[in-house]
């Protein structure tokens, strides 16, 4: 059978596809292994109890379950949820946002496809632009997202060494080149799989550089602040009209409900919503329905700070201690400072 160039992109090996296959295959084996990576969040008992109770509420209210499962939302996503998000970010963080600054997507992975191909690729005639990853290693899920060849440009990191066998990747601003061919910058904060958190200072320098070049700064906040806040380092949430901030309900505990959240200027949100209408008509409704009351009450940030963050921090500390004790003192090993996301990275 003959496939188009577009089809051929998906007929070979795809890193993120293999990773997701591995995760799914492992879960059906008996006994299922303890997942130590790959981005699948843990089943945090307190969070699961909250969603169970919310689901029971939906089921017990006459007509509510039928309403949630029986209607498409708009391509921008549940109006109630989008409104509650805007209120949360306005009141808790003082951001100048309204419902028009939010779009839901079927997982944030989906948003990267829309956003990356919006800002990079062909711009009429011969002009081509790339997505610049200012710090690598980066999330493997970006790698096949671009529809054009040479879609990404990346910069090697500076490596800072710390006592205790720790290291940290940092943006090498000396090497970072932003020119006409850069359509947008993107970094994940925290990063999967290194556990790195780009510092507040690095974020403000990247913001300045992106603004100077007139291109957006895309921040992948799937593990970030304010929710699920799987961050153990100091990090302020940031947004302005030149930032495209991508959040997700996955790592808070709802990976199967595929709910991504894009916060951006209205012009971008309109296009992302239209793309959603073409790819999938609308985002799923169940994630927003289950999380609505947590966002309306502001509990999503409280639960992130008081339950989710300490849950993963304790696991990270344990993993580092265990790794050190198993490897002993004679094996040269360095661990990336565990600053966030799900698992510490060790280099031997
Ligand atoms: C850094 C990072 N960004 C984005 C995603 C995508 O998550 P989702 O599509 O479930 O929102 C993941 C998933 O593992 C991730 O690790």
Return the domain boundaries, the chain.
51-301
Give Cα 309 to chain centroid, integer Å: 16
pLDDT, average across residues 113-138: 95
**CA 40/CA 253 separation, integer angstroms:** 9
Q: Which residue has the higher pLDDT, 249 or 4?
A: 249
What pLDDT does residue 213 have? 97
Residue with CA closest to ligand 1 atom 3: 222
> CA quadruple 289, 98, 223, 278: dihedral positive or negative?
positive
CA of 174 to the centre of ligand 1 (A): 29
The C-alpha R_g of the chain, in whole angstroms, comes to: 20
Q: Which of 7-11, 197-201, 205-209, 263-267 has the lowest mean pLDDT?
A: 7-11
Yes or no: say if 217 and 206 are a contact pair by the CB < 8 Å rule: yes
Q: Is 291 buried (19+), middle (13-18) or exposed (0-12) by CB count in 10 A?
A: buried
What pLDDT does residue 36 have? 62
User: How far apart, in Å, are the Cα atoms of 204 and each of 44, 208, 276?
Assistant: 33, 6, 31
CA of 332 to the centre of ligand 1 (A): 31
**CA 345/CA 221 separation, integer angstroms:** 19
Question: Running DSSP on this structure, what letter comes out for residue 156?
Answer: P
Yes or no: say if 225 and 235 are a contact pair by the CB < 8 Å rule: yes
CA of 27 to the centre of ligand 1 (A): 19
Residue with CA closest to ligand 1 atom 14: 39
Counting Cα atoms < 13 Å in the Cβ hemisphere of 138 gives: 24
Task: Pick the atom of ligand 1 nearest to 260's CA.
Answer: 11
Counting Cα atoms < 13 Å in the Cβ hemisphere of 148 gives: 18
Mutate to test the pocket of ligand 1, among 17, 41, 141 (most ligand atoms within 8 A of CB): 141
Yes or no: say if 260 and 236 are a contact pair by the CB < 8 Å rule: no
- Neighbouring residues of 228: CB distance < 8 A, sequence distance ≥ 6: 41, 251, 252, 253, 304, 308, 309
Please report which confidence band the pLDDT of residue 125 belongs to, taking 50, 70 and 90 as the band edges. Answer: confident
What tokens does 84 get?
Answer: 């509650």
What tokens does 254 get?
Answer: 């709802």
CA of 219 to the centre of ligand 1 (A): 12
The whole-model pTM stands at: 0.95
What pLDDT does residue 16 have? 75
**CA 217/CA 263 separation, integer angstroms:** 12
Q: Is the pLDDT reported for residue 19 higher than 70?
A: yes
Architecture of the domain made up of 51-301? 3-Layer(aba) Sandwich (3.40)
Residue among 347, 101, 148 at smallest CA distance from 243: 101
**CA 291/CA 104 separation, integer angstroms:** 13
């Amino acid at each position: 059978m003959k496939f188009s160039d577009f089809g051929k992109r998906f007929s070979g090996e795809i890193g993120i596809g293999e990773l997701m296959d591995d995760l799914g295959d492992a879960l059906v084996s008996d006994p299922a292994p303890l997942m130590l990576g790959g981005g699948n969040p843990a089943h945090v008992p307190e969070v699961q109890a909250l969603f169970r109770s919310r689901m029971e509420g939906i089921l017990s209210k006459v007509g509510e379950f039928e309403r949630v499962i029986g209607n498409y939302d708009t391509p921008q996503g549940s109006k109630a949820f989008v409104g509650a998000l805007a209120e949360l970010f306005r009141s808790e963080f003082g951001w100048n946002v309204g419902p028009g600054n939010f779009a839901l997507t079927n997982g944030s992975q989906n948003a990267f496809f829309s956003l990356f191909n919006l800002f990079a690729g062909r711009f009429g005639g011969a002009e081509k632009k790339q997505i610049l990853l200012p710090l690598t290693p980066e999330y493997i899920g970006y790698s096949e997202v671009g529809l054009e060849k040479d879609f990404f440009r990346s910069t090697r990191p500076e490596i800072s060494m710390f006592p205790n066998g720790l290291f940290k990747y940092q943006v090498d601003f000396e090497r970072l080149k932003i020119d006409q061919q850069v359509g947008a910058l993107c970094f994940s904060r925290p990063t999967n799989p290194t556990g790195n958190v780009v510092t507040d200072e690095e974020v403000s320098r990247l913001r300045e550089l992106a603004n100077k070049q007139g291109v957006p700064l895309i921040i992948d906040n799937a593990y970030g602040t304010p929710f699920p806040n799987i961050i153990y380092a100091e990090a302020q949430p940031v947004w302005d009209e030149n930032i495209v901030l991508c959040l997700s309900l996955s790592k808070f505990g709802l990976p199967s409900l595929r709910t991504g959240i894009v916060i951006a200027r209205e012009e971008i949100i309109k296009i992302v919503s239209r793309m959603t209408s073409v790819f999938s008509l609308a985002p799923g409704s169940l994630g927003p329905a289950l999380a609505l009351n947590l966002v309306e009450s502001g509990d999503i940030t409280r639960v992130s700070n008081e339950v989710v963050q300490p849950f993963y921090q304790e696991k990270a500390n344990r993993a580092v201690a265990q790794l050190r004790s198993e490897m002993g003192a004679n094996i040269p090993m360095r661990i990336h400072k565990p600053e966030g996301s799900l698992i510490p990275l060790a280099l031997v």
